[in-house]
Amino acid sequence: MSPSRVWKLMTAAQRLRAGQALWAEREAASDQVEAVALIAKQKNFRPKTVSGLDRERKASYLASVPNLPEPLAARLLVLYHLAEARPMMAAFLDAVGIAHENGLIGENATPPEAPKVAAAAAAIAKTYPARDVALYLNTLLWQDPSSWGALQGLPEMEIT
């Protein structure tokens, strides 16, 4: 599942929070410029007009854009999870046995064993909403299919 496909499956509230995370991120200037251009095109506004809007309005407009370029959708999903899902990310990585810092995987992490991945997915599915779990697991899979291939086919991956 591609980042833009996951974006389409997010709820309006999740997309809004992803947009808010984008506008709050200081190191996302190029992504913000791309988002401004998309919003301007979608709403028939000038980019300068969109740039002058407050963060909430830009986030709301971005949330309504149905089709995003893959790199922007990927960045939004990562920012969304960093802003909204750190406890779930940390719980999953703890269950899998991967060292992390507040949900961020270290550079020298080794791919987890398939049985641990399945057990960890089932464990977080008992605690967190199914849609949130599926978004996170799908995000992991497209980010690094070789490390997270064991996620494919798990029931927790289904976004309903």
Q: Where are the domains of the chain?
A: 3-80, 86-157
**49 Cβ contact list (under 8 Å, min separation 6):** 40
**Residue ranges of the chain whose pLDDT lies below 50:** none
CA atoms within 13 A on the CB side of 99: 5
Q: Please choose, from the candidates 44, 73, 77, 39, the residue with its C-alpha nearest in 3D space to the C-alpha of residue 58.
A: 39
The reported pLDDT for the residue numbered 103 is 86
In three-state secondary structure terms, 150 is helix
- CB burial of residue 20 (10 Å; 0-12, 13-18, 19+): buried
How far apart are the C-alpha atoms of 140 and 135, rounded to whole Å?
9
CA distance 157 to 134: 5
DSSP designation for 53 = S
Supply the pLDDT for residue 160.
72
Helix, strand, or coil (residue 157): helix
Q: Which of 57, 60, 64 lies closest to 42, judged by CA?
A: 64
Quote the pTM value.
Answer: 0.90
DSSP H helices in the chain: 3-9, 12-24, 29-43, 47-51, 55-63, 70-84, 86-96, 114-127, 130-143, 145-148
3-state secondary structure of 109: coil
pLDDT of residue 109: 82
